[in-house]
Structure formats: structure tokens, C-alpha cells
A and B are shown apart, each in its own frame.
Chain A
Amino acid sequence: MPSGSPQPTAVPAVSKRPRHTKRQLQEWRQGYVFLLPAVIILGIFIGISAIFVIYLSFCKVNLFTNSYSFVRLDNYLRLFQDEYARTALLNSLKFSVVVVPCQTIIALVIASVLNSKIRGKTFFRAVYFLPTLTSSSALTIIFMFMFSVTGPINTILINMGVLPEGGGINFLNNPAVALQVIMVMNIWSTVPQYTTMYLASLQDLPASLYEAADIDGAGTFEKFKSITIPYLKPITTYVLLTGIIGTLQMFDQAYIFSNGSGGPANSTLTVSLMVYRYAFGTTNAMGYASTIAIVLALVIMAVSLIAEKLNAAEKWY
């Protein structure tokens, strides 16, 4: 503390008119000292790690013997010939294309409904937020129970007469629907989070805009389309970006759902799951896993850029 307190000796120094006062310099030093712990931790665990992954992606790695042999672009060339990587990328993109618009639109609609003057909206806000609080692994297991052959979903469909008696769909083991089940699960669990973001922004929306629209004779849908949506555009950009990143990196739900295999018939094999399998299975192929991870990062960057351009929001953040 004594070293941080202002010093009387610093005052005469001002008369020499240096470019920066001693006090200013000291404050800067102090600032950097305060920053240092965070910079060191982030530098080691994010900065250096990220650079190391780029290096690994050009190597054939055996972590057990600590041997790294530089193989130039071999991993990348192999990746472009790997049909399973293509399947994984297609699955991830398919997942993203369905989940991101759904979760954004549903969140937007729910938020504007919750923002209106309906009864018990605090109660609904609390209830709607529950799925986000549930851990995604617990959620996956509950959904797997719900979608099992004798589970509630099949029972309801059979009782409604949609499916014949004893003809329940094996959602978990059918390649045609397995990924869709995870999509539903993901939308259900991520919507509340985005709803909360939209709600927070809607609280700031001046009521006068709606009142003016009322005087001009705009209907509810008109107001939603011409006031709510444009007002929320910056938030929408944020929701889209985090949505795209989150869905393209989806791992835990596919891992639990398929018991780590990405099956049935690679229908739930996502890029992240593939990275995990190469990095931590008995394959011992950290180099190839790094290559897939780097390409995934590039794909996410590209898709995010496109989405941002399409949404063309004013940058308020």
C-alpha cells in the first residue's frame, strides 16, 4: 500500500514538464500489475494453447512418448479426403441450420409475449428459464427416456392413434430421426437463455414508440414487425452468433446420446465429437484432432461473418 499512495516528492517533478507525470506512470504501472494475473492465466490457457493447437495440426503427435514430427499439410490433405469428416461437418451444419433460426425466432416471440401486460408474467419468466438451469447431460438422459420406444412420446402418439399399437418409433436407434431428437432437445434448452437476453433489451424499449404506433393505427403484428424486431436487431446479432458457435460446437448431447460413438450410422456424429474421438480414444491422434478443430474454427468464423453481414446490424456493442 505505501508504494501505491501518492507521494509528495512527485509534485516538484511536474515543473520539469516531462511527457507524463510520475503519478501517471505509476498509475499505469499499477494498472499493468492488476492486469497481470488475468493476462498470465489467459495467455497460458487460451493464448499459448491456441497457438500450440495450430502447431499440433501440422504434426503427427504421440503425446505418450512426447514425440512431435512435422508432417506439413498431411493432416489437412487427409481431412479433405475423409468422408467421415464430411459427414460430421454436414451433420453439424444441418444441426446449426435448423436449430439457430428456430431458437432465435421462438426466443423472440416468447420474449415479446412475456414483455406484454399478461397476468403472472414473473411466474412464466421463472418457469421458462428452468430448462437453461438444467445441466445438459441430465437433460439428455431425460430426453432419451422420453423418446425411448416405450417412453411418453411414443405412448402419446400411440394413444392418439398416430402410431399403431406396439409400433413405437425407436427414435434413439433410427438414423433418420436421431439427430432431430437432439435438435429438439437443444432448441428447448437454449431458447430460455436467449429469451432472457431479448427481455432485458425489451425492458429498455420506450413505451412511447408503441403509443405512437397505436395512434397511427398499427396492429399488434405491425408493431412487432416494425418496432420490436428492428429495435432488437443488435441483440439478434448476438443471439445468432452465439447460437451458431454453440450449435457448430455441439458435443455433450451427441456424446451422451450415442454413448460416444456418433451412431446410429454416424447420424449424430458432430465435428466436436470427432475431435474428441481422435484426441482421447485409443487412436492417440492429437495432431489429426487438432487439424479438425482448426478447420471447425475456420468454418465457424466464416459462417458467423456471413450471418453478421446478413443481419447487418448497427454495431452497438
Chain B
Amino acid sequence: MKKTRILALVLALVMALGLMLSGCGSEGTTTTNPPAADGDNSGDETSFAGRTLTVGIWGGNDQETAAINTLKANFEEMYGCTVDLKVYTDYNTQIQADFIGQTAPDCFYVDGSMFPFYGSLGVMDPLDPAEYELDKFYPNLIEAFTNADGEVLCVPKDVSTLATYYNIDLLEACGYTADDIPDNYDDYKAFLTDLQAKLDEVYGKNQIAAMTYNQDLSRNLPILQDGNDGLIAEDGTATLTSEGVVANMEYILDFVNNGLWKTPADLGLGWNGEAFGTGKAAIMEEGNWVYGTLKTDYSDINFGVKEMPSYNGTQYSMSYTVGYGIYALSENKDMASAWIKYVTGVDGLTIWCGGAGCLPPRSDAAEAMDVESDPVWAVHSAMTECSQPWQLGNNTSIINTAYQNYFPLAVSGEMTAAEFLAAAEQQANQEIANAG
């Protein structure tokens, strides 16, 4: 009995040793590989062989997935390496957990509106402007990814802008053409009043809205900030209660209270694109992402696109941009850098922007893609110049949440514009203070 036990013990020991040794062996071989690759790194394009680059992204529609997979395949072929796309479902929560756990991907998406926050955490390496040809990009996009010290931390990978979409059939049924749509908000009031009256007459009351809007700072910002010091102070707190902002808010509420602007939710629908696509709204202001939706999901809608109207003599649009940053603790910074150079270069941008349906962030890529040949793309591209990148300091989402929180009360009449903005400002600033 004792003998069998000893035998079993010895056998078990041998097996355990064997496992350990084989484990060490395989680890040993993998650890010797990268330095060798690093050695002949200089200039050789195939030097990333055997290594893996992790890229943190959020999921998109089928076209976006196809485009990023093409980029991945091309990059893998060029450098003989593996690209691991880490797709997050709740991006801003999960990537923060990865930053805290120091397990973030080598490079990752950064939304323009979130940049001031991530940029202040020290999780990204500063980028050399010359190395990434940053002078070829639209300056307002580069500015959106520049931190307080003047360092650029992300390279923009695409941009989307707002433009005015109109339903040609609905306009014509009411006796209008696209040329009747005014080019400034002041004239919109009279125009929308007439249009809404005629829509009610032709299609029945409350059936079709003249125009939709959103209770969202990312859409209302251009009007609200016109002619004043903006919505945030130097320290990032909200300043929504200045006289200029209140007056601009009253201007917006005037449209809403007269029934000229309706939210998609007022129409029982999810977003502008759905309201417009189902023919429930005659005019909307939307980003270029809606173009693909209208073509594929709502192909029976006969629509046109024109530039955004001006407010108090200035033309505004909003732009939404996303960039790539390199993780400060990455062990594959050389690969991350090569990836960013590829996907934000003209070739990479043509694949990505063409596939995903967004504008390239640099004019040479826009020329290469010939965006001007498509009338819709041409309008969105023209809006890049006058657009404001969606960004509101470190506390963008706090301020916007507080703003959205109280907006319905201003619409229902429970609060005046001034009371609404004061309540939103108080909540936002209290949250910022609690965080600080």
C-alpha cells in the first residue's frame, strides 16, 4: 500500500514538473521573440511579425464593422502581425475600468466630447505633429484633441457635421420648394408657421411636424453660445445663467412653444432620422450618419440637403469627431503608432470613411475620396469649416445631463428659460463640486 502511494506521489510530481517546464518553455520562446523583432525594427515594414496590437473600439453598424475589418486585414498583411479589435459595448464605462486596471488597449478611440476628460488623466502619450502630418488635418479638429498644455494627444479618424435635411415631397405638397427654406433662423419662424399650417391642412392636424429638434446641448450649443462668453467658465463649471445664454434659450423655446419644433419623442419616435424617414417630419438638422440610413432603410423618402441656417448673422454647425490615442502604458507603442499612421492616412481614411459613411478629417483625403461629387457629402463637407466640435470642457456629460434633465420643464411651462438654466447650472455645478 505504501509503495503504491509513493509511486502515485512520484508520478504526480513528475507530471507537475513537466507541466511547469513546458509552461516555462513556451513562455521563454515568446519572450525571446519580441526583442529580436524590435532589433530589426528600423525601417523594415514586416518587423511586427508574431506580435499583436490591441485596438479599443466601440461597435458600429455593419458597414462600419466591414470597414474596420478591411483596415485590420490590410494592416496585418502589411506588417505580418495580428490586430486584435477589442470591441466595447459601454465604451466610456469599460475603458475607464481598463485605465484603472492598467489593461487598456495599445490604442483606442477617443470621442471628441470626452477628450478633455481623458486628456486630463495622463493615460495617453503626446503625439509629434510632424510625424502624424497633423498640419494636413482641419485645424478645429486638431484643436479638439489638444490638451491644456498645447500637446496633441489624439489623431482624428473621422468627422461628422450637421446639415439641414428636407423632405421634397412634403414641401411640394404644401406648395414650397427647397429654395423657400430660409438661410437664417429669424426667417424660419414665419416659414415654419406657414409650413406647419399647410401640413395640418393637407395631412390632418398633428400628423406631420414641420421640423424636429433635440433637447441636447450637442445640438443647441451653437445658438446658445452665440454672442456671449460660452457655457463654461475657465475652471470647467457651467455658466448657463448669463443674460446672453438666457436670451438665446428664449429664442429656442419660442420655436418650441409655438409648435414649430418638435422632438422625435413628441412624435412617438426614437430619433430625428426615424421621424424624417417615416415621413413624420418635413425638415430636420442631422449629421451625415443619417445619409446611409435614409438610403438603405427609408429609400422611398425623396429628400434634399442644404447648409445650416445662420443665427444672428453667423453660420454654425456642429461637428462630432473621434480620434485615436496611444495608451501611455502600452508595450506596443511602435505598432500603435504605425496603425494610427495607416488608418489616418489618405489610404486608410478612404477605406474607413467611404465604408462607415463619415467625412475624412483632412482635406487631401476628402479630395482623394472626391466627396464633392456627391451633393449630400458636399454639403456636409462644406459645413466642416463653420462647425464647432462638440466639446464642453472636462464636464461635458455632467452639464449636458443637467441640461436635458430640466429642459422638459421649460417646455411644459413649469419653468421659464431663466429658471430652467439656473436649475441646470446649479445641479451641474453641485455634481462638479462633489466630484472635485
Contact = CB atoms under 8 A, between A and B. Distances in A.
Contacts of A112: none
Contacts of A228: none
Contacts of A263: 401, 404-406, 408
B103 interface: no
Interface in B291-324: none
A151 B432 CA distance: 37
Contacts of A260: 401
Contacts of B267: 149-150
A45 interface: no
Interface string B243-281: 000000000000000000001011111000000000000
A149 B266 contact: yes
A283 B398 contact: yes
B205 A166 contact: yes
Given A2-B5, A266-B405, A170 B100 contact: no
Given A78-B434, A174-B412, A285-B435, A261 B396 contact: no
B384 interface: no
Given A150-B267, A170-B265, A288-B435, A282 B395 contact: yes
B265 A261 contact: no
A115 interface: no
Contacts of B434: 78, 82, 278, 283, 285, 288
A64 B405 contact: no
Interface stretch (B114-122, B182-190, B350-358): B114-122
A284 B408 contact: no
Given A2-B5, A261-B401, A284-B435, A149 B394 contact: no
B397 interface: yes
A131 interface: no
A283 B405 contact: no
Q: Describe A's contact surface by its main secondary structure.
A: loop
Interface string A238-273: 000000000000000000000011111110000000
B368 interface: no
A288 B396 CA distance: 20
A280 B408 contact: no
B206 A166 contact: yes
- Size class of the contact patch on chain A: 35 or more
A61 to B, nearest CB: 10
Contacts of A172: 265
Contacts of A65: 121-122
Contacts of B96: 64, 280
Contacts of A234: none
A261 B435 contact: no
B385 interface: no
B427 interface: yes
Contact of B408 (A78, A166, A174): A174
A278 B435 contact: yes
Contacts of A151: 268
Nearest to B2: A2
Contacts of B123: 64
Interface string A296-307: 000000000000
A9 to B, nearest CB: 11
B434 to A, nearest CB: 5
B254 to A, nearest CB: 19
A285 B398 CA distance: 13
B267 to A, nearest CB: 7
A82 B4 CA distance: 71
A132 B404 CA distance: 32
B328 to A, nearest CB: 11
A21 interface: no
Contact of B409 (A148, A265, A285): A265
A150 B264 CA distance: 11
A173 B269 CA distance: 13
A84 B408 contact: no
B404 A261 contact: yes
Interface string B101-117: 00000000000001001
A101 interface: no
B99 interface: yes
Contacts of A63: 100
A65 B99 CA distance: 10
A43 interface: no
A281 interface: yes
A53 B228 CA distance: 44
B93 interface: yes
Contacts of B430: 82-84
B125 interface: no
B8 interface: yes
B169 interface: no
A55 B232 CA distance: 34
B151 interface: no
A150 B435 contact: no
Contacts of A150: 267-269
Contacts of A174: 408, 412
A148 B265 contact: yes
B76 interface: no
Contacts of B401: 260-263, 277
A64 B205 contact: no
A262 B405 contact: yes
Interface in A191-213: none
Given A260-B401, A264-B405, 20 more contacts: A63-B100, A64-B96, A64-B121, A65-B121, A84-B427, A149-B265, A149-B267, A150-B269, A166-B205, A175-B408, A262-B401, A263-B401, A265-B405, A278-B434, A278-B435, A280-B93, A282-B92, A283-B435, A285-B434, A288-B435
Interface of A: 2, 63-65, 78, 82-84, 148-151, 166, 168, 170, 172-175, 260-266, 277-278, 280-285, 288
10 contacts: A78-B434, A84-B431, A149-B265, A149-B266, A175-B409, A262-B401, A263-B401, A263-B408, A277-B431, A281-B397
Rank and list the top 5 A-B pairs by shortest CB-CB distance, nearest first. Answer: A150-B268, A283-B435, A263-B405, A166-B206, A264-B408
